[in-house]
Chains A and B, each alone.
Chain A
Amino acid sequence: MQAGALSNALKKGAIWGFIVLELVFFSVAGEYLSLSDKAFMDLDNMLLLFKQSAPIGIIAMGMTIVMINGNIDLSVGATFAIAAIILLDSMTWPILAGLGDWVIPVSWLLALAAGTALGALNGLIVWKTGVDAFIVTLGSMLGYRGIVFMFNGENPTSHLNWTLVDFAEAQVLGLHTATWFLLGVTLAIWYLMTRTVHGRNAYAIGDNREAAVNAGIRVGPHMMVNFMIIGFLAALSAVVFYSESGSVNPNDGQLYELWVITAVVLGGTKITGGAGNIVGTFGGVLAIQLLRKGLGHIGADTSTVNLVIGLILIAVLILDRQLNVKGKEALKT
């Protein structure tokens, strides 16, 4: 085995090692520090952990493919909010009033279509103008947020549909609806990236764009499809979350892009594209959620979570650099 292979294996395993570490730490520390009698690794607690991971996790799957493809999407938080508003608002539209509970799938479809369309718009701009995805989505992050406010100004949009709430709160085989969605999306995206031509081409484009172009891969459409997927998933995340909560603030979803990117990078996806995997991202999402829950469990402030996650992100980067460090004879530029 070559040195590169070893560090690759280490990197792939690192996130799971980290999760085990977190579990052990919070279980032990919880014995001494926790105010509640419940153990940290309680079954209900763990089931809840999966459910709470879903909103970020579903988007993170989309971010993983966009980043593997060599792009980034900063507008997911705003897309999330738009989809949420469309979901809740459309259920009150007079034109859909006659549908009864059949309004639910219609509203879902509307929200998902909106998300996909917003993603497509990002992708189209990146493809046709050649402007860097970072700038395009930085712009649409502002623009899409502006659209959010156009619906209801600064007021929240609320609508509770009890059938929907029942659906969202249901547990099948012990897992919550949201968890099922997270698992389903993870599986689907994993399949897409490892088994399909589109997925493999996405890797190739992010890895060596010139080689991909020379090999005749159509870079533009692949990028656009990936932006549509992340838009769809941002909307799906909103659909899953707001089916239960029933009320959306125009500022909801802010900073989601940062959480999502953090999870994806923790999961081992390279910021420059070409490398990364869905299972790693799943680990990254769980690790962040574990950290939030665990720190809460031992009575730490929510503020500590931000601090710790930020530092861990940087620590991962330093570790990665150490693993990739070349010999002493390397060129110092």
Chain B
Amino acid sequence: MTALSRERIGTLLARQGILIAFAIFIIAFTLANPKFLTVDNVFSVIRSSAILGVMALGVTFVVISGNLDLSVGSMMSFSTIVVLDLHDKIGPLLAIPAMFAMTLALGALIGLLVGYLKLNSLIVTLGMLSAIHGLTLTYSGGKNMDIADKEGTWFSVFGQGTALGVPVPILMFLALAALLGIVLAKTPFGRKVYAVGGNGTAATFAGIRRARTVFTCYLISAGCVATAGLIQASRSLGSQNTVGQGLELEVLAAVILGGASLMGGSGTVFKTVIGVLILGFIQNGLLLMGLQFYVQFVVTWIIIILAVWLDIAAKRGRLWSPIA
């Protein structure tokens, strides 16, 4: 009986461990600082996580399909710079679709290389990280990009506006999360993403067009990146070329923290949202406690490794690796 209940606790931890950790965090921080769980503070956490979060939604699809995307950071810089530049040249109404089209084209290129040419996604997106960074610098001539008339544009609504008392970035993040969550959990496409990531060969034997599925995942990822770039550009109305630098790894950290396996085939949009919020709340909670931002780095490190370790440990039924 003890063995059984221990097994149950193990399964429970493996399945819901991240939620339990999240709850403990919230309670601990709230006890430490009553300001932590106020509407204002929660809003500010979600708003500051929105850009990371939107990108993480797309990367969730890529990771579940069994691949990686390390190019989302530099791609986000690219879309931010492009939309800011075009804003003054062709107006925001045209700039936004133009930026989306260009970002999606980059996503399509990656999807082509990884999906149809079956190249290693780690190296392809590593190469794209560098290439898109170069593309951005070439596009901007290395200069910061600023909108001329920062007061008079409605473009700022995506990053700074509120609707029904809720900041627009939060609405966009949550709406996109809901939409993509349903796509992944409820549609035939979502099912195929899990199958391709779970066992690509078996998926092919079941008549699933694997290349097309992977390709679409990268398109979704690029679409999310473009949305994140839009929020970023709208919030700051001016930007450096390196605004998204390093985000690719933070995004991946959020997705992994949510419990998606890098081997593919597991993870959900909801869990990724939790992963994003955990990162956001840790950052915020530590700041409220008066700790410097970099303490958050160290804490994130420990949490990521603990989360993945416990997940693996529950699956293999023993804490320590059997490797000699």
A residues lining the B interface (CB < 8 Å): 74, 125, 127-132, 134-136, 138-150, 153, 213, 218-220, 254-255, 258, 261-262, 265, 271-272, 301-314, 317-318, 321, 332-333
Contact = CB atoms under 8 A, between A and B. Distances in A.
B300 A258 contact: no
B120 interface: yes
B240 interface: no
A140 B123 contact: no
Contacts of A312: 127
Residue of A130, A144, A218 with most chain B CB atoms under a 10 A cut-off: A130
B305 A314 contact: no
B249 A138 contact: yes
A310 B131 contact: yes
Interface in B240-258: 245-246, 249-250, 252-253, 256
Contacts of B102: none
Contacts of A220: 321, 323-324
B295 interface: yes
Contact of B130 (A127, A310, A317, A333): A310
Given A213-B324, A314-B127, A131 B298 contact: no
Nearest to B304: A139
A150 B294 contact: yes
24 contacts: A130-B312, A130-B320, A131-B305, A136-B305, A138-B256, A139-B305, A142-B249, A146-B298, A150-B292, A153-B292, A262-B127, A262-B130, A303-B135, A304-B138, A307-B131, A307-B133, A307-B134, A309-B134, A310-B129, A313-B127, A314-B131, A318-B117, A321-B119, A333-B200
A258 B308 CA distance: 23
How many B residues are at the interface, by size bracket?
35 or more
Give 7 nearest A-B pairs by CB, closest first. Answer: A310-B131, A143-B301, A307-B134, A146-B297, A303-B137, A130-B321, A306-B134
A314 B137 contact: no
B138 A314 contact: no
A306 B300 CA distance: 29
Contacts of B44: none
B153 interface: no
A314 B114 CA distance: 11
Majority secondary structure of chain A interface residues (helix, strand, loop or mixed): helix
B134 A304 contact: yes
Contacts of B117: 318, 321
Contacts of A271: 120, 122-123
B312 A129 contact: yes
A309 B133 CA distance: 11
Contacts of A310: 127-134
Contacts of B324: 213, 218-220
B8 to A, nearest CB: 22
Interface in B98-135: 113, 117-120, 122-124, 126-135
B201 interface: yes
Residue of B118, B292, B308 with most chain A CB atoms under a 10 A cut-off: B308
A138 B257 CA distance: 12
Given A140-B301, A220-B323, A74 B249 contact: yes
A303 B134 contact: yes
B42 interface: no
A262 B252 CA distance: 20
B127 A146 contact: no
B98 to A, nearest CB: 21
Interface in B139-178: 141-142
A301 B309 contact: no
B323 A130 contact: yes
A142 B297 contact: yes
B41 interface: no
Contacts of A308: 134
B126 A262 contact: yes
B204 interface: yes
A312 B123 CA distance: 11
A311 B131 contact: yes
Interface in B296-317: 296-298, 300-302, 304-305, 308-309, 312-313, 316
A52 B242 CA distance: 24
Contacts of B253: 138-139, 142
B137 A219 contact: no
A317 B123 contact: yes
B262 interface: yes
B186 to A, nearest CB: 27
B242 to A, nearest CB: 10
B119 A254 contact: no
A317 B120 contact: yes
Given A127-B323, A144-B301, 5 more contacts: A135-B304, A146-B297, A301-B138, A307-B138, A310-B128
Nearest to B138: A303
Contacts of B294: 145-146, 148-150
